[in-house]
Amino acid sequence: MNKCIALLFVFIFIGFAQAHEFWMLPKKFKYAVGEKMTLDFMVGEGFEGEFWDLNTHQVEGLTLYNRLSKTDMTAKVKKSSGDNFEYTFNNAGTHMITMESNNAYIELEPEKFNEYLKEDGLDYISEERQKLGEQNKNSRELYRRYAKLLVQVTDRTDDTYKKETGMRLEIVPLQNPYELKTGDHLDCKVLYERKPAAHALVKVWTHIGNRIFLQNIYTEDDGTIRFPVSNKGAWMVSSVKMLRSTSDKAEWQSLWSSLVFEIE
């Protein structure tokens, strides 16, 4: 674990100026059969945020997985401020919802882009910019979101949590979070194009009271991380991958992945 040591920080939320994390947030995480779930699509810095603007962005795919089926729910997404998706559960078990967005565009001045690369562990992009003589140029970037949410219906758990969906960047938990308790550890695997993403920075977020607790962890050679689940409540695991864009619109393409669940 030479590179993969967790660095622990506590943050107080400071604003949306450079907001880029994205996640799906339910009103609650545990349900009864026949009960309705409502999701908000959220964007922000540090697991606190604001409603995602669906007048500017677009959902390209939303899928619901459970032990019995995989269902395309894209047509049920609402272009509203919050309450973006509703679903009434008709069977017990662990359920997973995945969402993929379209590409969005952003242009940043050199200083802001360099800060962003440093914050998200994208040193290899900084090095490439140096080699190409682009370190003092504005950056044009296309970015795409890949979000995953786990919720639980009754106490009946199953292996839906570990399904690999084939999203281009994906975080897969290796234990069911709804079978864990505080003091346990959770292992996750980061996949890029279905293969382990080695030495990728992963951020693990949770709330303790009115503070945000963050662990920065680098993946092992096999794309895995391990972290302690120190408290009850909502958790988010996130990571980003950047590569050279093949589009004439931008130099860079970033892929943002998140996984949200609750520890009871």
- pTM, to two decimals: 0.92
Assess whether pLDDT exceeds 60 at residue 148.
yes
Assess whether pLDDT exceeds 60 at residue 125.
yes
- Return the minimum-mean-pLDDT range out of 42-56, 103-117, 170-184, 207-221: 42-56
Determine if residue 154 is left, alpha or beta; phi over 0 gives left, psi from -120 to 50 gives alpha, anything else beta: left
Does 135 fall in a domain? yes
Does 224 fall in a domain? no
Residues forming beta bridges with residue 150, ordered by sequence position: 96
β-pairing, 139-153 vs 59-65, is unpaired
Determine if residue 133 is left, alpha or beta; phi over 0 gives left, psi from -120 to 50 gives alpha, anything else beta: left
Neighbours of 240 (CB within 10 A): 23
Assess whether pLDDT exceeds 50 at residue 4.
no
* Amino acid, res. 248: D
Angle, vertex CA 143, rays to CA 46 and CA 245, nearest 5: 140
- 8 Å CB contact between 123 and 146: no
pLDDT digits (tens, 9 = 90+) for 39-56: 999 999 879 889 999 988
Q: What is the DSSP letter of 42?
A: E
Does 101 fall in a domain? yes
Residue by residue, DSSP assigns 110-139 as HHHHHHHHHHTT-HHHHHHHHHHT-TTS-E
Does 179 fall in a domain? no
Does 229 fall in a domain? no
The structural domain count of the chain equals 1
- Lookup: tokens for 208: 């303790």
pLDDT digits (tens, 9 = 90+) for 232-255: 999 999 999 999 999 999 999 999
Neighbours of 246 (CB within 10 A): 8
Residue by residue, DSSP assigns 135-163 as TTS-EEEEEEEEEEEEEEESS---GGGG-
Range(s) of the domain holding residue 89? 7-165+241-263
CA separation for the pair 256, 264 (Å, rounded): 26
CA separation for the pair 19, 102 (Å, rounded): 18
Angle, vertex CA 10, rays to CA 221 and CA 123, nearest 5: 40
Give the pLDDT of residue 18: 41
- Lookup: tokens for 213: 């607790």
Does 96 fall in a domain? yes
Does 66 fall in a domain? yes
Does 25 fall in a domain? yes
- 8 Å CB contact between 217 and 202: yes
